[in-house]
């Protein structure tokens, strides 16, 4: 069977345009591999970071060229607008093409989507086994009720087949088809990988727990190391691997075992990951540094003890301070992720966040490049609060509006004020503004200076200078940056937009 898989353009604010090293869809990479292994002819399109018109044009060009019998769309909240428009247009043009939808947003909102597009079939949850069985049923002309993990429209109503169990043995899956993303981007030097799935925690703003059921499942260190080694062998230009696990560091012993394997391989790669504040250990950080980890990004979200409890983060201020004391001897850069606008957020909780992050920066300087206003996704606790307050309904997700912020207690202008307050006090990108210089740099001039004079941080310093130029001389900056992009088109290390320059 000829199958086209696609993930389409996301909302403009969140696109990573002009970045050839941007994260790619490992989910589609895995689906591509399992469908090929089942004997199907598969093509995959990764179009998240192009605008709507370019995404539309590339998709229909591929349809014309391939003439697929089935098309599978990865749907998440930020690409639903482009995806829904293309689904309708595709069906109008060729009703014989079977349309399959999956992804996080589909798993949350399959009923309303199928009522809009009753000719589609929805894959609920993890898709590798479900999609393989679904395609086999379609190719064989069989009915769908015996395929677990599906939703579809029949006889005027949405039908749901029995739930698909989570994949227990991740080592039993083949590696994702990285070639899709490397061969289409000859300048790509950053690879992306998932070594585990799931998170056992219960954060009120996270929708992934609906998919993973708060169950952590891990691949063996040997399989992960082999995938990384294979990538490096196939693509000698590879310089960096970014891990996209929900909770990579959850099992410290497993991380240490993986790092020891990477040390033995001597691949000369840099590694980047995101992580929770705990559990951590000196032994784990020692082996991570030895293996080549150069950046770890921690999700703190807020420095308010009250909010940390109410959002079910599962950490305390003491845990945060302990983390940075443990991190202090190690050389990798640390980024701290912050958000504002949680239920209960006030000027005082914003001040608490500033004070806690300042305390961590004095222990070991860590980078705050942005502060996210709280987005609201279906399936989350904060979405239910928004619905109960009459601020949103399920009908919202069939509109063309962008993913909304949590505005039950504060309007967007107030959230922006909270955001700016944090940035002026904590962000390295603001040190060349009057308020940033006074509130951030002068609070810890030696620590910030020591950080930026490290030779390995030269590109980060360049991003600070670029941010200052953009803020103070926007017209000149725009012209220079446009000229620069044209001059280095195709390079992976382009100035402020390249991932190598992202702290």
Among 90, 101, 86, CA closest to 27: 101
Name which of 146, 113, 105, 147 is nearest 130 in CA terms: 147
Same domain, 259 and 334: yes
Q: What is the pLDDT of residue 119?
A: 97
The predicted pLDDT at position 500 comes to 31
State whether 19 and 125 are in the same domain. Answer: yes
**Per-residue DSSP letter, 102:** E
One domain, residues 147 and 208? no
Band the pLDDT of 458: cuts 50, 70, 90. Answer: confident
Q: Is residue 472 part of a domain?
A: yes
Residue 169 domain-assigned?
no
Domain count, the chain: 2
Can you read off the two tokens belonging to residue 415? 């959230």
Q: Are residues 151 and 182 in the same domain?
A: no
Answer yes or no: are the C-beta atoms of 382 and 388 closer than 8 Å: no
Q: What is the pLDDT of residue 487?
A: 59
In this structure, are 413 and 302 located in the same domain? yes
Is 101 a domain residue?
A: yes
* Pair (232, 132) in one structural domain: no
161: its two tokens:
């087949």
- Residue 499 in this model has a pLDDT that exceeds 70: no
pLDDT digits (tens, 9 = 90+) for 384-421: 999 999 999 999 999 999 999 999 999 999 999 999 99
Cβ-based neighbours of 199, under 8 Å, separated by 6 or more: 206, 208, 209, 212, 214, 216, 246, 247, 250
- State whether 135 and 220 are in the same domain: no
What CATH number is associated with residue 131? Answer: 3.40.50.280
388 in the same domain as 326 = yes
CA separation for the pair 72, 157 (Å, rounded) = 22
Give the three-class secondary structure for 167: coil
Do 149 and 194 lie in a common domain? no
Alpha helices (runs of H) in 275-391, residue ranges in sequence order: 282-291, 305-310, 317-327, 347-363, 381-388
Residue 168 located in a structural domain: no
| pLDDT for residue 498 is more than 60 | no
The CATH number of the domain where 378 resides is what?
Answer: 3.80.30.20
356, 239: one domain: yes
Decide: 350 and 300 in contact? Cβ < 8 Å.
no
Q: Could you tell me if residue 291 is inside a domain?
A: yes
Residues 109 and 197 in one domain: no
pLDDT digits 0-9 by tens, 70-107: 999 999 999 999 999 999 999 999 999 999 999 999 99
Last residue of a domain, one of 136, 160, 184: 160
Interval 340-360: pLDDT, tens: 999 999 999 999 999 999 999
Handedness of CA 441, 446, 448, 453 (dihedral sign): positive
Residue 46 lies in a domain: yes
Last residue of a domain, one of 160, 188, 211: 160
DSSP 121: E
Query: Residue 124: inside a domain, yes or no?
Result: yes
pTM of the model: 0.92
Within-domain flag for 365: yes
CA distance 134 to 140: 10
501 vs 1, higher pLDDT? 1
Residues 354 and 321 in one domain: yes
Q: Which domain holds residue 227?
A: 175-501
Place of tokens 């088109």: 489
SS (H, E, C) 270-308: EEEEEECCCCCCHHHHHHHHHHCEEEEEEEEECCCHHHH
Nearest 5°: phi and psi at 174? -70, 165
Q: Which of 125, 160, 195 is the last residue of a domain?
A: 160
């Amino acid at each position: 069977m000829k199958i086209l898989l696609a993930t389409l353009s996301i909302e403009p604010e969140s696109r990573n345009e002009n970045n050839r090293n941007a994260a790619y869809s490992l989910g589609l990479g895995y689906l591509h591999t399992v469908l090929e292994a089942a004997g199907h002819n598969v093509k995959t399109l990764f179009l998240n970071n192009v605008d709507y018109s370019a995404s539309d044009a590339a998709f229909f060009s591929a349809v014309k060229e391939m003439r697929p019998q089935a098309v599978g769309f990865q749907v998440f909240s930020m690409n639903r607008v482009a995806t829904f428009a293309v689904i309708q247009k595709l069906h109008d043009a060729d009703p014989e093409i079977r349309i399959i939808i999956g992804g996080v947003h589909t798993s949350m909102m399959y009923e309303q989507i199928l009522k809009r597009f009753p000719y589609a079939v929805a894959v609920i949850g993890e898709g590798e086994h479900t999609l393989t069985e679904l395609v086999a049923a379609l190719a064989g002309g069989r009915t769908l009720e015996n395929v677990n993990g599906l939703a579809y429209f029949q006889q005027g109503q949405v039908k749901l087949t029995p739930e698909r169990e989570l994949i227990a043995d991740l080592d039993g899956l083949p590696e994702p088809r990285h070639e899709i993303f490397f061969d289409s981007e000859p300048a790509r030097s950053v690879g992306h990988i998932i070594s585990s799935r799931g998170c056992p925690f219960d954060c009120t703003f996270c929708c992934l727990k609906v998919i993973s059921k708060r169950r952590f499942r891990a691949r063996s260190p040997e399989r992960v190391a082999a995938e990384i080694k294979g990538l490096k062998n196939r693509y000698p230009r590879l310089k960096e691997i970014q891990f996209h696990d929900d909770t990579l560091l959850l099992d410290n012993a497993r991380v240490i075992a993986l790092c020891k394997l990477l040390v033995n391989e001597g691949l000369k790669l840099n590694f980047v990951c995101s992580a929770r504040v705990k559990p951590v250990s000196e032994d784990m950080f020692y082996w991570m540094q030895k293996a080549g980890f150069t950046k770890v990004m921690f999700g703190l979200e807020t420095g308010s003890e009250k909010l940390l409890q109410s959002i079910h983060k599962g950490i305390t201020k003491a845990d945060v301070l302990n983390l940075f004391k443990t991190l202090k001897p190690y050389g990798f850069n640390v980024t701290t992720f912050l958000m504002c606008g949680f239920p209960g957020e006030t000027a005082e909780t914003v001040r608490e966040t500033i004070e806690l992050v300042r305390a961590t920066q004095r222990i070991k300087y860590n980078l705050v490049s942005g502060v996210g206003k709280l987005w609201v996704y279906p399936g989350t606790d904060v979405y239910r609060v928004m619905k109960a307050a009459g601020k949103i309904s399920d009908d919202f997700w069939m509109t063309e509006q962008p993913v909304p912020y949590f505005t039950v207690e504060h309007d967007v202008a107030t959230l922006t004020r909270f955001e700016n307050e944090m940035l002026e006090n904590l962000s390295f990108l603001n040190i060349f503004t009057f308020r940033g210089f006074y509130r951030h740099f002068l609070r810890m001039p030696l620590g910030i200076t020591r950080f930026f004079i490290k030779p390995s941080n030269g590109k980060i310093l360049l991003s600070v200078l670029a941010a200052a130029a953009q803020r103070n001389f926007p017209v000149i900056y725009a012209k220079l940056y446009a000229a620069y992009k044209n001059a280095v088109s195709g390079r992976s290390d382009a100035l402020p937009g390249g991932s190598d320059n992202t702290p």
